[in-house]
Amino acid sequence: MNEVLTAVLFAMTAGCLLWGVVKPQKAYTFPFLAGLIVLSFVLPQLPSLMNAPFLPQGGYKKTVLMTCLCLACAMLGWRATSAPVAVLRVQFSERRLNIVATAFAIVGSYFYYALSQLPGDQIVGVQISGAPVVYLFFGRLLTYSLAIACLCYARRPCQWMLLVILFDLAFYFDRIVVTGKRAEAAELLLIFALAFWFTRGWTIPRGFLVLGFVAAIIGSTSMSDYRQVTREHSSFVWSEIAEIDPGGNLVDLLKKGGPEMRNAIVLISDTDRTAQFDYGAFHWNQVIRNYVPTGLTGAAFKEALMFKTPKDPRDFNPLTGTTMTGMVDAFRSFWYLGAAKFFLLAYVLRRLWNSAIEGQVLGQFLYMLSAVPAMHAFSHTTDWVMSAWTHMIFFCIPVFAYARIRPTLTTFATTARRATLLPGAEMRKEP
């Protein structure tokens, strides 16, 4: 049964990826991105765990079955709707959006710079706390700046937005290179790719997609070695990085398995055995944990705001920096029915995608910055995208309200009617 379930998961993953290779425009959609993260993160960890000793009996089967259900729900949720989000049909002033992108760049760059000045052992491959959390919270504005600037530049190239983009990239590349953040690297690529797809209809060549598969696998297997180097030196040291053996790391992962899927097997087995579920309280607790500052409210008050949830097994001691996977938090919420979280996630993303294809700037912005957190629902937690949306509520609602103008004035069009007038933003029918 273990072999059969693994083969089913592999076939489902291959189907998601082939969908994007055959039709390159599908490479921007959530099913393709979900298949990419399963290929690079989940599947390489499974072979050695299939019959590994010291794991709960039947745990592998339950975990792979849950993964299959989550991937299937993601695919079904994507195909469940073709309707855009009507409330996102808003018109904006291009000049005001340029101002917003510039302001976000200035504020975000300050905090990115402050983060870059911290020692590597405080920010690379560790659970961060204190000042780095604050720097990351406000440094996220640099990403918003880059997304808005790319959308503006793709629609109407101008030197102002080009300078903002180059300014943002200087700080963005520093964080990617020094901390080895795969999520930031993937997000950077998607921001540019989606900006020019939504506005000009540009797609990624199939050859680059195949190279992306290879890069994703290599990045997953060798990133811990890369981060070890940057953590020790707080910088990029090519001589030591060149000694990393990606092929050897992949073979080693296939032979020994990975800690994340091992974590998943242990936790899913324990939850199935005890039948203790959190019924979604996990998400509320994560919001409190991420957005209620302990320094201002006190640890006791913050703890009182949270719901009590089932505790991890006594003998569960995960390695620092490893994840639990989104399959775990889904299972711990509603058993196998928790896969519905992935259906809901894909459904919402499809609505945003439909809005973006319609030419709505808000839909494009939201999808661009939701795609990577959503695909990491498989490798990390389903809470990543909710955390991203919560952060956007704090900062983006006020500035987009500032940039919004009356339809009677000269506008940065986002409605379906005006979208047909913009280069490459014509209506596209999706299956």
Percentages of the chain per state (helix, strand, coil), in multiples of 5 = 75, 0, 25
CB neighbour list of residue 410: distance below 8 Å, 6 or more residues apart: 93
Confidence (pTM): 0.84
Give the Cα-Cα-Cα angle 62, 67, 72 (nearest 5 degrees): 125
Residues 42, 47: Cα–Cα separation, whole Å: 10
Compute the Cα dihedral for 102, 107, 113, 116 and give only its sign.
Answer: negative
- Per-residue pLDDT for the chain (431 aa), expressed as one digit of tens each? 888 999 999 999 999 988 888 887 888 899 999 998 998 889 888 888 888 888 888 999 999 999 999 999 999 999 998 889 888 888 888 899 999 999 999 998 888 888 777 665 555 555 555 677 778 888 889 999 999 999 999 998 999 999 999 999 888 777 676 666 677 788 888 999 999 999 888 888 877 777 777 777 766 666 666 666 555 555 555 565 666 666 676 677 777 777 888 899 999 999 999 999 999 898 888 888 877 777 777 778 888 888 888 888 888 888 777 888 999 999 999 999 999 999 999 999 999 999 999 889 999 999 999 999 999 999 888 988 888 898 888 888 888 888 888 665 444 544 433 333 333 333 333 33
Residue 410 exposed, middle or buried by CB count within 10 Å (0-12, 13-18, 19+): exposed
Backbone CA torsion sign across 317, 321, 322, 326: positive
In the chain, what are the domain boundaries? 1-431
